[in-house]
């Protein structure tokens, strides 16, 4: 009985969003592979994969096409990388924020890819290629989104690839985007173009729209991560920072004017914490440590009361507490990283 219950316990320990997302990926992918195996002419299955010319009749494929991996190799790679990563993120963010992140990254990437294909059709008039020849599927957009999230949480962590190559987490997203660019240039626009869209919109979501957990103690919730280390220009080499900053600042200005970027009432310290588990939790930890340090300094600054000889006569006077020394000021220090400057735009924030 213990042997049979062990797999069930493992499945039950997986957070719900990760569990159901992984199960849907396995079911949809196996069903697609079965249909392809039964078909002699390789039917497109427009109700499973996203085909620009058929998407108006099957709008749910804007999201559900991510559940479909069209080969065994793609399915194995996805099951190795995605569930473990989502499990880590869901335990930090919670199920609701993780589900929002998945939906936004996948759906918006597919919508932009769909719009791009229709624009290409209107310009080049090739319906067979741009409307019916491209089938978007799989979780490439989500994979790059997960790498962006890890860059926010653990940028300096080192990973080992294939047992040989070592790289820092913060270098992986742009490496994947570069791979996508090369594949698009040589003619494989579908599905590799969604990697670039997934990178951009996952960063926008994490930068401005993701609701931070555990931050409603004072001033209401906060949104996003406005720290300097997560700014848009940090994805690019220094020699193109000037044009990127100009472009990003312009976009941020218009987004602010049209109230597209949410704001929340909270102390500035909450915006600078990068510790997994929530900005407010880290802020409260800093305050607790600072108060403890203050108590220790106050205790050390008070002198012990004078002792009275046992045989002395006369009324005893209560010992007077010595005043703190003038040359030992009490200083409340805040432990943690120095505050960074919040400039208020994409290029500098």
8 A C-beta contact, residue 140 and residue 74: no
Residue 140, pLDDT score: 94
Tell me the pLDDT tens digit for each residue of 219-263: 567 888 888 889 999 999 889 999 999 999 999 889 888 888 876
- Please, which residues have CB within 8 angstroms of residue 179's CB and are 6 or more apart in sequence? 192, 195
pLDDT of 160 > 70? The answer is: yes
As a whole number of angstroms, the distance between CA 233 and CA 192 comes to 23
User: What mean pLDDT is predicted for residues 312-341?
Assistant: 45
Alpha helix positions (H), the chain: 2-13, 16-38, 61-64, 72-93, 95-124, 127-130, 140-153, 172-185, 189-204, 241-257, 279-301
As a whole number of angstroms, the distance between CA 12 and CA 15 comes to 8
**CA-based nearest residue to 253, from 340, 349, 111:** 349
pLDDT-derived band at 141, boundaries 50, 70, 90? very high
pTM for this prediction = 0.73
pLDDT of 39 > 70? The answer is: yes
In 3-state terms, what secondary structure has residue 305?
A: coil
Containing 70, the helix (H) or strand (E) segment is: none
* Domain range summary for the chain, segments of one domain joined by +: 2-210, 212-298+345-349
Residue 14, pLDDT score: 87
Number of Cβ within a 10 Å radius of residue 139: 27
pLDDT of 269 > 50? The answer is: no
The per-residue pLDDT of the chain, averaged, comes to 79
8 A C-beta contact, residue 75 and residue 34: no
Angle between helix axes 72-93 and 95-124 (nearest 10 degrees) is: 130
Of 1-5, 83-87, 187-191, minimum mean pLDDT range = 1-5
**Percent with pLDDT over 70 in the chain:** 71
Residue 271, pLDDT score: 40
Tell me the pLDDT tens digit for each residue of 173-220: 999 999 999 999 998 998 899 999 999 999 999 999 998 865 444 456
As a whole number of angstroms, the distance between CA 206 and CA 195 comes to 16
Q: 168: which strand partners?
A: 158
8 A C-beta contact, residue 150 and residue 85: yes
Distances (CA, A) of 159 to 85, 171, 174, 215, 294: 13, 10, 15, 31, 40
**CA-based nearest residue to 266, from 308, 217, 310:** 217
pLDDT-derived band at 349, boundaries 50, 70, 90? very low
CA angle 210, 214, 217 (to 5 degrees): 120
Q: 161: which strand partners?
A: 165
**CA-based nearest residue to 294, from 338, 269, 329, 339:** 329
pLDDT of 340 > 60? The answer is: no
**Phi and psi for 158 in degrees, rounded to 5?**
-100, 135
As a whole number of angstroms, the distance between CA 329 and CA 249 comes to 44
Tell me the pLDDT tens digit for each residue of 22-32: 999 999 999 99
As a whole number of angstroms, the distance between CA 70 and CA 76 comes to 11
Residue 215, pLDDT score: 47
pLDDT-derived band at 159, boundaries 50, 70, 90? confident
User: What mean pLDDT is predicted for residues 318-335?
Assistant: 45
42 or 261, higher pLDDT: 261
DSSP class of 326: T
One CATH from 1.20.1540.10, 3.30.470.10, 3.40.190.10, 1.10.3720.10 for 2-210 = 1.20.1540.10
- Please, which residues have CB within 8 angstroms of residue 205's CB and are 6 or more apart in sequence? 100, 101, 104, 105
């Amino acid at each position: 009985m213990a042997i049979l219950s062990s797999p069930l316990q493992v499945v039950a320990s997986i957070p719900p969003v990760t569990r159901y997302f992984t199960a849907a990926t396995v079911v949809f992918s196996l069903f697609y592979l079965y249909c392809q195996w039964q078909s002699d002419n390789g039917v497109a299955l427009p109700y499973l994969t996203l085909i620009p010319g058929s998407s108006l009749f099957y709008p749910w494929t804007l999201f559900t096409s991510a559940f479909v991996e069209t080969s065994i190799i793609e399915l194995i790679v996805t099951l190795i990388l995605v569930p473990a990563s989502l499990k880590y993120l869901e335990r930090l963010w919670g199920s609701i924020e993780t589900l929002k992140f998945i939906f936004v990254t996948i759906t918006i990437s597919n919508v932009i890819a769909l719009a791009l294909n229709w624009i290409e059709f209107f310009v080049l008039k090739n319906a067979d290629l741009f409307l019916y020849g491209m089938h978007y599927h799989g979780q490439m957009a989500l994979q790059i989104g997960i790498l962006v999230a890890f860059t926010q949480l653990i940028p300096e962590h080192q990973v080992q690839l294939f047992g040989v190559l070592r790289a820092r987490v913060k270098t992986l997203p742009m490496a994947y985007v570069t791979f996508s660019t090369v594949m698009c240039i040589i003619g494989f626009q579908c599905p590799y173009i969604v990697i670039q869209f997934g990178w951009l919109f996952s960063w926008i979501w994490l930068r401005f729209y993701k609701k931070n957990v555990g931050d409603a103690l004072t001033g209401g919730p906060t949104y996003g991560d406005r720290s300097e280390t997560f700014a848009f220009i940090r994805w690019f080499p220094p020699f193109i920072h000037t044009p990127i900053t100009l472009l990003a600042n312009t976009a941020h200005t218009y987004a602010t004017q049209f109230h597209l970027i949410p704001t929340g009432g909270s102390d500035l310290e909450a915006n600078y914490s990068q510790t997994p588990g929530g900005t407010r939790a880290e802020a409260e930890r800093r305050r607790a440590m600072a108060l403890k340090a203050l108590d220790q300094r106050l205790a050390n600054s008070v002198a012990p009361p004078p002792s009275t000889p046992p045989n002395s006569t006369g009324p005893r006077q209560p010992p007077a507490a010595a005043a703190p020394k003038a040359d030992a000021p009490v200083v409340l220090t805040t432990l943690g990283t120095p505050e960074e400057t919040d400039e208020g735009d994409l290029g500098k924030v």
